[in-house]
Amino acid sequence: MGGSKPSAPTIIMDPQTQPQQYQTVTPKSSFQDVAETLKTTMEQSAQLDKNRYAAGYSPTDMAVRQAAGDVTSAAAYLGSLPQSDVSTQFQATPRVFDIKSTDSSFSVAPGQVTSKTGASIKPATSQLDAVKKAAAERLDVAKKQYADAVQLAKTATDPVLKVRTNPSFATRDAEEYLPKRYNPETKKMEVV
């Protein structure tokens, strides 16, 4: 079970080489290309906005639709209010026997005369009148806002921009983007 002792490992070193410097430079034209691409993207976005505006979805058209909805909502609310005061007087409940009341057991409606004093009570402004007035004012405001929105939509202008079809980055030489190595003999950066 013996055997010989293993030999020591041998390490072989590469001969010393001169260090090399590399530099990657982003050319100015690359930044110009990015700026042009961004400009083109913005122009295309503006063209899409123009198409959307032509289809009736500009901010002013949407404001007109919103104002028209507000007018409809205000008119519907005003129309849903009762046309006369709702009686809040005691309503008799059908019973086996009648419930009798006296002068002091009920309140007098506006315009009625009490049997004891004979005095007339002035009709008060009802809450319904106040609600109707507020609803009518809201409808008037909504109509004015709708008219203003329609007028603004008639005078609004849409953006008109052209779209570029040949971007500058497509015409650049690929060598501009290759990494460069420093040559100590010429003391210049050269393409690898």
Neighbours of 71 (CB within 10 A): 20
Geometric angle at alpha carbon 86, from 82 and 88, rounded to 5°: 160
Q: Do the domain assignments include residue 91?
A: no
Q: Do the domain assignments include residue 147?
A: yes
Q: Do the domain assignments include residue 96?
A: no
Measure the CA–CA gap between 139 and 136, rounded to whole angstroms.
5
pLDDT, tens only, 154-190: 887 765 556 666 667 677 777 777 777 778 788 887 7
Locus of tokens 């042009």 = 36
> What radius of gyration, in Å, describes the C-alpha atoms of the chain?
44
Alpha helices in the chain (DSSP H): 28-54, 59-80, 127-155
Residue 162 in contact with residue 40, Cβ under 8 Å? no
Domain count, the chain: 1
Write out the two tokens for 119.
């005095």
Measure the CA–CA gap between 46 and 63, rounded to whole angstroms.
20
Q: Supply the pLDDT for residue 96.
A: 66
Rounded mean pLDDT of 83-93? 64
Q: Supply the pLDDT for residue 11.
A: 84
Residue 23 has pLDDT above 80, yes or no: no
103 secondary structure, DSSP code: G
Q: Supply the pLDDT for residue 106.
A: 56
1: amino acid identity, one letter = M
Residue 184 in contact with residue 18, Cβ under 8 Å? yes
Q: Provide the domain limits for residue 135.
A: 25-81+125-191
Question: What's the distance, CA 54 to chain centroid?
Answer: 20
Q: Do the domain assignments include residue 87?
A: no
Residue 33 in contact with residue 169, Cβ under 8 Å? yes
Measure the CA–CA gap between 154 and 139, rounded to whole angstroms.
23
pLDDT, tens only, 108-155: 555 555 555 555 445 556 667 777 888 888 888 888 888 888 887 788
